Chains A and B, each alone.
Chain A
Amino acid sequence: MATTTLAGRQLDVNEEGFLTDPSQWDEELGTALAAQIGITLTDAHWRVIRFVREDHAVKGETPTLRRVSTVGGIPIKELFQLFPKKPAKKMSYIAGVPKPVGCV
């Protein structure tokens, strides 16, 4: 466990830079996290990020791409366009939640 400073605040992060406490997140921080990985957030991105945040809050786990697609209504193809190469990792990084675990 480490701490880092971003957008003028102290944050708890893991070795990959993911927030370990989702409550430290707000939308301003989401914008700053996205900028860290070269993404400028549009409305389409925000639809995904907000779904990931809400679903994580209810289920206690980060949704998989399939869940974002079937439950959140955003096609997987679009997720790859919005968050190129590693959508699952990038959307959870920006949303301040852990990487999805559904892969054991």
Chain B
Amino acid sequence: MRNLVVLGAGTAGTMIVNKLRKALPESEWGITVVDRDDRHHYQPGYLFVPFGELEPEDVVHPRRRHLHKGVSFVEAEIDRIDPEADVVHLADGRTLPYDYLVVASGTTPRPDQTPGMAEDEWHRSIFDFYTLEGATALRDALASFTGGRLVMHITEMPIKCPVAPLEFSFLADAYFTKKGLRDKVEIVYVTPLDGAFTKPVASAEIGHLLADRNIAIEPEFMVERIDTDTKTLVSYDEREVPFDLLVTVPLNMGAEFVTRSGLGDELGFVPVDKGTMQSSAHANIFALGDASDIPTSKAGSVAHFSVEIFVDNFLQLVEGRPMTHRFDGHANCFIESGYGKGMLLDFNYDTEPLTGTFPLAKVGPLRLLQESRFNHLGKLSFRWAYWNVLLPGHKLPVPTQMSMAGKNRPAA
């Protein structure tokens, strides 16, 4: 009997145990997944909560409901991994020995890492929306906001879903326009990057959209601290951005048990081979989803595509064969742009997001890097597909590897 232990029952962890439970016989393999609670959050839904478009309870399901029969679910805090002894120690003293381990414990916003952020103004004039609590508190703050400076701020890359702060800005513009308050609300986008996005084509396209919506951008701003008396963001090079309402994306870090186990980099992400997601330090440990250090977006689509590659490789590995599949860093992200429209980005390690159509050349039906109603509907319908198609481990009609079909190549 061999044991696979998966730490984290989020998008990546749930997909992995469900897919592998179907592929590996129960008489030969025990599959265990550990999480600290029984609440699976549909995280893309957080974005809609502040604007009252989704209720907090709409985005939470019991984790157990989405785990296949034959998967053992352990609800516990993780103390640490002992990679020399191949054992996971739980906080309550129990131990889980493993033959193979998958770290799928994601990334966590850490407002405690920036002086002034998680102090007296937290959830008063400073909010996040990458937690359900934060998104819900922000909904109430937006509802009572009658004017002033709304600052959307990113602390440091990498962050989960790097397009979400842009989406928030577009949706805030639409929200205050609809309320007839837009001329009283100044919206500022503060980023450590040198433009709206990390890559040139997308940065230019999205930069235009910010300008069209009268959203000012403050680039290359790396926050050192927040002055809560004057309500000001202060950067390392001593620039200041005042705010009335601050919506921030705190520093993102991997799970603390990863660092305690000596498996993390300086942010607590697990260094892995970017093609196989196999730990650089231990051949029987993998890190999937947001928990690894692969150089692409921390996003559900990346979790999805990389899990497909991992599962195919894992079945080869346990039979003693070489792993022949390599992940290309494929990410596919909808960007809500407000007013019932959306954009779509499709890219990988080597190809930046380009304009064009998706998934088919000319036909689409989705349009890359341009606003359309259809893209917005694609995003909305995805919530159903997430629970009913993706998590159970069924195939979605989207290629695992990025394709150049339909993409406009930039001039060399």
With A66-B266, A66-B267, A103-B193 already in contact, the answer to whether A76 and B220 are too (CB < 8 A) is no
- A38 partner residues in chain B, CB cutoff 8 A: none
A40 at the B interface (CB under 8 A): no
Q: Flag whether B158 is at the interface (Cβ < 8 A).
A: yes
CA distance A80 to B199 in the complex (A): 23
A103 near B198 (CB under 8 angstroms)? yes
Which residues from A are CB-within-8-Å of B205? none
Complex CA distance for A82 and B156, rounded to whole angstroms: 20
What is the chain A residue whose CB lies nearest that of B267?
Answer: A66
Query: Do the beta carbons of A104 and B296 come within 8 Å of each other?
Result: yes
Please, how many angstroms separate the alpha-carbon atoms of A103 and B297 in the complex? 8
Interface size on A, residues (CB 8 A): 17
Bound Cα distance from A84 to B157, whole angstroms: 20
Q: Determine whether B229 belongs to the interface, using a CB cutoff of 8 Å to chain A.
A: no
Minimum C-beta distance from B276 to chain A (A): 16
Are A70 and B237 touching (Cβ within 8 A)?
A: no
Q: Is the CB of B222 within 8 A of A65?
A: yes
A102 near B295 with CB under 8 A, answer: yes
**Mask: chain A, 68-104; 1 = CB below 8 Å from B; 0 = not:** 0011000011011000111000000000000001111
Q: Does A45 reach chain B (CB closer than 8 Å)? A: no
- Nearest opposing residue in chain A for B299, CB measure: A104
Residue among A80, A86, A102, A104 with the most chain B CB within 10 A? A104
Is the Cβ of B158 less than 8 Å from the Cβ of A103?
A: yes
Q: Are A67 and B236 in contact (CB under 8 A)?
A: no
B237 x A66 contact (CB < 8 A): no
What's the minimum C-beta distance from A17 to chain B, rounded to whole angstroms? Answer: 16
Query: What CA separation (Å) do A61 and B220 show in the bound complex?
Result: 21
Chain A residues positioned under 8 Å from B198 (CB to CB): 103-104
The distance in angstroms between the C-alpha atoms of A101 and B157, with both chains bound, is 10
Please give me the residue from chain A that is nearest to B296 by CB atom: A104
Considering the complex, give the chain A residue whose CB is closest to the CB of B295: A101
The distance from the CB of B147 to the nearest CB of chain A, in whole angstroms, is 33
Instruction: Tell me if B83 counts as interface (CB < 8 A to partner A).
Output: no
B193 partner residues in chain A, CB cutoff 8 A: 103
Which chain A residue has the least Cβ–Cβ distance from B347?
Answer: A104
Interface membership of chain A positions 10-36, coded 1 if the CB is closer than 8 angstroms to chain B and 0 otherwise: 000000000000000000000000000
Report A-chain residues with C-beta under 8 Å of the C-beta of B222.
65, 76, 80
B237 engages A102 (CB within 8 Å): no
Task: Say whether B295 contacts A70, CB under 8 Å.
Answer: no
Q: Are A85 and B220 in contact (CB-based, < 8 A)? A: yes
Bound-state CA distance A79–B193 (Å) is 17
Nearest Cβ on chain B to A99's Cβ, whole angstroms = 10
Q: How many Å lie between the Cα of A67 and that of B264 in the bound state?
A: 12
CB A82 to nearest CB in B, in angstroms, measures 11
- With most chain B CB atoms within 10 A of its CB, the pick from A65, A101, A103 is A103
Chain A residues in 8 Å Cβ range of B156: 66
Chain B 269-300 interface residues, beta-carbon cutoff 8 Å to A: 295-297
The answer to whether B158 touches A85 (Cβ under 8 A) is: no
Contact B224 A77 (CB under 8 A): yes
Q: Could you tell me the distance between the alpha carbons of A47 and B263 in the complex, rounded to whole angstroms?
A: 27
A71 CA to B194 CA, complexed, in Å: 24
Q: For B224, what are the chain A residues with a Cβ–Cβ distance below 8 Å?
A: 76-77
Q: Is B162 interfacial (CB-CB < 8 Å)? A: yes
**Assembled-state Cα–Cα distance A61/B295 (Å):** 10
Contacts of B295 in A (CB 8 A): 61, 101-102, 104
The answer to whether A104 and B237 have CB atoms under 8 Å apart is no
- Docked Cα-Cα span, A71 to B264, in Å, equals 12
Chain B residues 137-165 with CB under 8 Å of chain A are 156-158, 162
**Closest B residue by C-beta to A67:** B266
10 closest cross-chain pairs (CB), A and B: A103-B157, A70-B266, A80-B236, A80-B237, A103-B198, A67-B266, A101-B295, A104-B198, A77-B236, A104-B297
Known contacts A80-B222, A104-B296, then 19 further A-B pairs from the complex at CB < 8 Å, ordered by chain A residue: A65-B222, A66-B266, A66-B267, A67-B265, A67-B266, A70-B266, A71-B266, A77-B236, A79-B236, A80-B236, A85-B220, A86-B194, A86-B220, A101-B295, A103-B157, A103-B198, A104-B158, A104-B198, A104-B199
Mind listing 12 A-B residue pairs with CB under 8 Å? A65-B222, A67-B266, A76-B222, A76-B224, A80-B237, A86-B194, A102-B157, A102-B295, A103-B157, A104-B157, A104-B162, A104-B295
